[in-house]
Amino acid sequence: MKNTLLFFLLVPIISFSQNKDSMQSTYTYLALGDSYTIGESELLQKSFPYQTVQLLRKQGYNFSAPEIIAKTGWTTDELEEGIKEHKFLSKYDFVSLLIGVNNQYRRRDVMLYKMEFEQLLKKALAFANNKSSHVIVVSIPDYSVTPFAQSKDLDKMAKEVEVFNNVSKAVSIQYKVQYVDVTTSSKESKNDPALIAEDGLHPSAKEYKKWAQKISELVAQQLK
């Protein structure tokens, strides 16, 4: 009887100690990108960085609001300039990078994109204190399936996005960072209008949630 009572008294203490570390630390998340990162046409709180943090908080991880360096229309070089003008923390626990759709849309050279993307990824690594597993590259969505693109050469657009994604994935593998494919998910909006925002181009909050779920799972794995 005495041993049984001792067991039940210890259970909540053990459970508390397991969650203690996750609640004691306040984690930081830096999101670098363009319109997809700020959640164009949706509330900022519905963007994938904010939804990622919300999901992690529900799991007991104490995250600050995400710090976002992104603007609609930005290409790799414009993100680079935006970074130069921003005052950052000394380091971040996690960093995501999603950039390139405007390089493709403006017909920028893909090899130039590779060079500039690699420089941005190096910066992302530096922000994350060179912890490659804490840097997450997010693929470019396939916007050829959106109403916005219907008057254009859809096959050409989709193939070009694929080429840019192949480049970012190859560089990600080279630097051993995490890579999240949201392109496959984005194609589902062809048959589900609820996955597209009111502007007929950008993802909806519902689609961003799917991205956030993938990213939050990767982040939680690093914090266990």
Q: Write out pLDDT tens, residues 75-90.
A: 999 999 999 999 999 9
Q: Residue 16: its pLDDT value, please?
A: 34
Mean pLDDT for the chain overall: 92
Q: Residue 13: its pLDDT value, please?
A: 34
**Cα angle value 8/14/15 (rounded, 5°):** 95
**64 has a pLDDT exceeding 60:** yes
Instruction: Let me know how many helices (H) and strands (E) the chain has, helices first.
Output: 9, 7
Other C-beta atoms lying within 10 Å of the C-beta of residue 127: 25
The terminus-to-terminus CA distance of the chain in angstroms comes to 35
Q: Residue 148: its pLDDT value, please?
A: 96
Q: What percent of the chain has pLDDT over 70?
A: 89
Kindly list the structural domains of the chain, giving each domain's residue range(s) and its CATH number in brackets, ordered by start: 21-223 (3.40.50.1110)
63 bridge partner residues = 27
**4 has a pLDDT exceeding 90:** no
Residues 132 and 177: beta-carbon distance below 8 Å: yes
**5 has a pLDDT exceeding 50:** no
Q: Residue 25: its pLDDT value, please?
A: 87
Q: Residue 24: its pLDDT value, please?
A: 55
For the chain, how are helix, strand and coil distributed in percent, rounded to 5? 60, 10, 30
**6 has a pLDDT exceeding 80:** no
Across 102-118, average pLDDT:
98
Q: Residue 170: its pLDDT value, please?
A: 98
Give DSSP secondary structure letters for 71-128. Answer: -TT--HHHHHHHHHTSPPPS--SEEEE---HHHHHTT--HHHHHHHHHHHHHHHHHHT
Band the pLDDT of 9: cuts 50, 70, 90: very low
Q: Global pTM? A: 0.89
List Cβ neighbours of 22 (8 Å cut-off, separation of 6 or more): 59, 60, 61, 62, 223
> Helix, strand or coil for residue 213?
helix
Across 132-158, average pLDDT:
97
